Amino acid sequence: MWQASGVRALVLAAGWATRLGPIAQDRPKHLLPVGATTPLDVVVDRLDALPQVERICVWTNDAFAQAFEAWAHERTCRASLAVASNGTRRLEERLGAVGDLARYLERDPCDEPLLILGGDQLFDAGLDEVARVAVHHAVVAVHDVGRPDLVRRYASVEIDADGRVLRLVEKDPAPNGTLAVTAIYGLPAEVLPEVSRHLAEGGAPDNLGHLAERLAGQGRLRGVRLEGRWIDVGSADEYARGRRAFAQAEAPR
């Protein structure tokens, strides 16, 4: 297995799950039950399986911090696992995914490749190829979701045979195919300054797909196909689909 030293991972878990309504009323969506596990456990398990990942930070808000700290206390991890808050307390204060990434980098500057994952997704595949490419190139995992209407929820993407992203459109109203961007990114250290530049130049702070659009437009983004199953636990119908698909998921360690 390919290995590199000094890869860091950030799990974004500060979202307020407004689309899930009462389903996530008493707990963060990242900790909703899926079989015997949770989306956050799936994400952290995949990261912890990478020997080159030394640090995993779960990035949340003040309202959810206690729940995540209790979760972290109950599980084991090979890598160093920490929970940190962006300092916000209410929905109206939310920073957005790009805003959260920028604030994390302000507090804890990074001089190694950084893997950035949403903590509210379920998937089978390992992250070895994403981590390998992220050493030298900005990279996003892409997945065939099977239906254009699902692509519209995320970002449409086209890649060539060498993995270069040719086109990426966040919340594309008319996608050409069924290939969608997942919330699985890798950025080498030299690309990380683009996060603050994106915001300083008026870029949207909410979805990471907006940052990906910028990098794709610069010809700096690669795509890695994510095989197996992938489900974003962001809406009631997708959460229900995830529970059906991953009903036999193993219990968190």
Q: What are the structural domains of the chain?
A: 7-139+183-222+229-245 (3.90.550.10)
The tokens of 181 are what?
């961007």
Higher local confidence (pLDDT), 207 or 1: 207
Is 151:180 a contact under the CB 8 Å cutoff? Answer: yes
pLDDT at 148: 93
What pairing do the DSSP bridges indicate for beta strands 179-187 and 138-144? Answer: antiparallel
Alpha carbons within 13 A on the beta-carbon side of 193: 2
Rounded to whole angstroms, what are the CA distances from 213 to 137, 166, 194, 230?
A: 15, 10, 12, 21
Q: Which residues contact 17 (CB under 8 A, 6 or more apart)?
A: 23, 24, 28, 29, 120, 234
pLDDT digits over 169-223, tens only? 999 999 999 999 999 999 999 999 999 999 999 999 999 999 999 999 999 999 9
Sign of the CA dihedral running 49, 53, 54, 57: negative
Q: Is the pTM of this model over 0.85?
A: yes
Q: How much of the chain, in percent, has pLDDT values that exceed 90?
A: 86
Is 80:103 a contact under the CB 8 Å cutoff? Answer: no
The tokens of 233 are what?
């636990």
pLDDT at 1: 38
pLDDT digits over 100-152, tens only? 999 999 999 999 999 999 999 999 999 999 999 999 999 999 999 999 998 99
